[in-house]
Structure 1
Amino acid sequence: MEEKPPVTVIAYSRDKFTSRKLSDVREALSIKGYDVVWINIDTVSLIRELKEALGIHEVLVRDFKRGSGRPGVRVFPDYLFVLLHQIYETEGGLKRERIGLLLRGNLVVTVQEIPGDVFDPIRESIREGEGLFRERGADYLLFALLEAIVQNYVPIIERISSKMEELEARILGRGDKTVLHRIHGIRREILFMRRTVFPLLEAFRKLQLEGEKFFAEDTKPCMEELHDHVMEVLEILEGQRELANSLVELYYSTISMKTNDIIRILTVVSTIFIPLTFITGLYGMNFRYMPELYWRYSYPAVLLLMLGIAVGMLAYFRRKGWI
């Protein structure tokens, strides 16, 4: 099966549009005559070629290739670079992928570790001429790409909330040990999300302050909105973290209540059998001079006595609300 070209170019103006799939970065950079050119690279292997073609700083290559690269913004005299993470849900949990976005004049470059992203609605809007993309510049496209990444966090957070609601119902129902395991798994996912999103506050604030010259006046409010959106995501995550902690407390409270119920029942049973054990022990001593042993109805009388004691104690416990 033939591999897809790793470079995709979308170039557009108010009245024209083109989309191409290429294998060479320099060929993609040679496309001219459009107000905005967006180059998406689906492999890290071409970042060195991108550096040589654009003359970008070596530190950007190191930032992107570093496995634990922290999200951030680097501002240079004629371009800026944003590094952050996309998050995906997999069968084994959450997974994140680094993505770099470069803005230089009318050029926007996105570099990803693997193919696949959350930008398809943007591509469709540009292709169909919807929204403001054809009327705005490359700075607005950069904002839209950043917004799409942040927006993708929201459905993941909503699914985490749904999982916690399901677990809460299970805790109130059975409260088995698998529930506690799943709660701890959700807490790890929330922490994973928070570690990914929190650095964006500093990155987007720096983008607003130091990268101000790269954005048109009508795009600057959008960047402020982007920063506020990250704050909202973090507030939701904080609420989810508190809810996850409360689920753990609810689990242990439920287990404690069930344990107390079991102990109460066992205590009632033990209490009932104490006098019965005393009676059976008394008449099991086999002393020679026990007149009632020779009484014809002594056996059924003792059984009725024991039954009366048990029923009487059960009635008393029930009236007291102990059972």
Structure 2
Amino acid sequence: MGEEPEKPRITVIAYSKDRFMSGKLSDIREVLEITGYDVVWVNVDTVSLIPELKEVLGIHEVLVRDFKRGAGRPRVMVFPDYLFVLLHQIYEKDGGLKRERIGLLLKGNLLVTVQEIPGDVFDPIRESIREGEGLFRERGADYLLFALLEAIVENYVPIIERISSRMEELEARILSKGDETVLRRIHSIRQEILFMRRTVFPLLEAFRKLELEGTSFFSEETRPYIEELHGHVMEVLEILEGQRELANSLVELYYSTISMKTNDIIRILTVVSTIFIPLTFITGLYGMNFRYMPELYWRYSYPVVLLAMLVIAVGMLVYFKKKVWI
């Protein structure tokens, strides 16, 4: 018999100012039985339960279609009694960047997060809620929504910093030893930067809509935080733009370095060729088969010619060195 497929993991964290509970649910319908808490946060590690969420919470069919579509831009949808935000988490895997859609549904004191695969960047938030740190226990589900959105955006920063570190390493390598592998790595980094930018840029529109149309879902205390999200995304985009320009500069630096090395080689070869021009002339002159060349019969002609050739070569080297041509 084959192994039974693993059941989707549904976790719940519920809390008030002086109460806290966490655990797992075997069925999404159990969410309706959790009462007596100011905030109920349910996390679902698969999109396969979206139809059940639609049935239990009465969410719109368009949300189901968005997840089934498999791709899509970040967006915010505002309904009369609930708010839905769709965006992407980015993580590093197998030497590259991957992204995962995540949906956040705010309905009253209930916040539901739906992920494509297990794993997220919310563990510090869970720990803060568990330990009673920060403002989580004093605020409602709207503040929790802000914190989750902020955590997703914040997670972009260390990825960007690692990209910056790799570019600094490549810059040093270009200056010391430029080869084709460096160029391939630069192009790979440029693709990652473009990937990040395509993921982050749509958040500007999404968070602006959240700020303008979703105000009724946020308390007066939480609204300033929501406004900060738009500014934070702008900062991330500015960093990405700087990285994109730096990556382009690295490509230019690579080709400039290759050009300089080529010029050095050509200069050295030119110097060598220039030194051998008079030497070749002398050997060619005395290589002619004329009968009447008096110095050919002189006893010291051979060492004198060699000495003259040596003096010419050394003299030219000294002259080139003085002119800083070598």
| Aligned equivalent of 1:36 | 39
- 1:114 is the counterpart of 2:117: yes
Percent sequence identity over matched residues?
86
Q: CA deviation at 1:68?
A: 2.1
Q: CA deviation at 1:301?
A: 1.0
| Aligned equivalent of 1:154 | 157
Alignment of 1:15-30 (within 5 A): 15-30=18-33
| Aligned equivalent of 1:246 | 249
Q: Select 1:313's aligned residue among 316, 319, 326.
A: 316
- 1:266 is the counterpart of 2:264: no
Q: CA RMSD in A?
A: 1.2
Q: Which structure 2 segments of 5+ residues have no match?
A: none
| Aligned equivalent of 1:200 | 203
- Structure 2: distance between partners of 1:65 and 1:238: 32
- Structure 2: distance between partners of 1:138 and 1:81: 13
| Aligned equivalent of 2:61 | 58
| Aligned equivalent of 1:12 | 15
Alignment of 1:173-322 (within 5 A): 173-322=176-325
Structure 1 length normalisation: TM-score?
0.98
- Structure 1: distance between partners of 2:94 and 2:312: 60
- Structure 2: distance between partners of 1:108 and 1:286: 102
Alignment of 1:84-103 (within 5 A): 84-103=87-106
- Structure 1: distance between partners of 2:230 and 2:304: 85
- Counterpart residue type for residue 168 of structure 2: E
Q: Which structure 1 segments of 5+ residues have no match?
A: none
Structure 2 length normalisation: TM-score?
0.97
- Counterpart residue type for residue 26 of structure 2: S
Query: Could you report, residue by residue, the CA deviation over 1:137-195 in whole angstroms, capped at 9, with x for unpaired residues?
Result: 01000000000000000100111111111111111111121111111111111111100
1:5 touches 1:22 (CA, 8 Å); kept in 2?
no
| Aligned equivalent of 1:68 | 71
- 1:135 is the counterpart of 2:138: yes
Query: Could you report, residue by residue, the CA deviation over 1:189-224 in whole angstroms, capped at 9, with x for unpaired residues?
Result: 111110000000000000011111000000000001
- Counterpart residue type for residue 133 of structure 1: F
1:64 touches 1:83 (CA, 8 Å); kept in 2?
no
> Segments of 4+ in structure 1 off by > 4 A?
1-5
1:150 touches 1:230 (CA, 8 Å); kept in 2?
yes
